[in-house]
Amino acid sequence: GGIITQTPKFLIGQEGQKLTLKCQQNFNHDTMYWYRQDSGKGLRLIYYSITENDLQKGDLSEGYDASREKKSSFSLTVTSAQKNEMAVFLCASSPGLGDYAEQFFGPGTRLTVL
């Protein structure tokens, strides 16, 4: 088995601030994902990466940057936090393609912008 660790668990920022969220996985999975979860809106894909140093935009990439410098880690940066923004950011990993490879999720980082 493996685990996905997301840090920090809670993140409080100010409007306009640049904020970075981190994700680590020890599954040795190739593919990693960042999703945003808003109440009542399900999960929306921000960025994903199929291998080290690869980045692919999802449906919600505007306002975000990502970085995959190692196979085991995937970082997400909110480039300019929006006032009153509240959401949970979920990181996931999967082994890659092949008869749907299950995505395993971390516990999330809860963002609040004052």
Residue 48 binds another protein, judged by CB under 8 A: yes
3-state secondary structure 75-103: EEEECCCCCCCEEEEEEEEECCCCCCCCC
Residue 6 or 75: the one with the smaller Cβ distance to another protein is 6
Query: Is 50 near another protein (CB under 8 A)?
Result: yes
Minimum CB separation of residue 15 from another protein in Å reads 27
Residue keyed to tokens 């995505």? 103
Pick one of 27, 52, 58, 60: the residue that binds another protein (CB under 8 A): 58
Closer to another protein by Cβ: residue 73 or 103: 103
In the complex, minimum distance from the CB of residue 89 to another protein, in angstroms, rounded to a whole number: 11
Q: How far is the CB of 32 from another protein (least distance, A)?
A: 9
**Which residues are at the interface with another protein (CB under 8 A)?**
4, 31, 33, 40-45, 48, 50-51, 54, 56, 58, 90, 92, 94, 96-97, 100-108
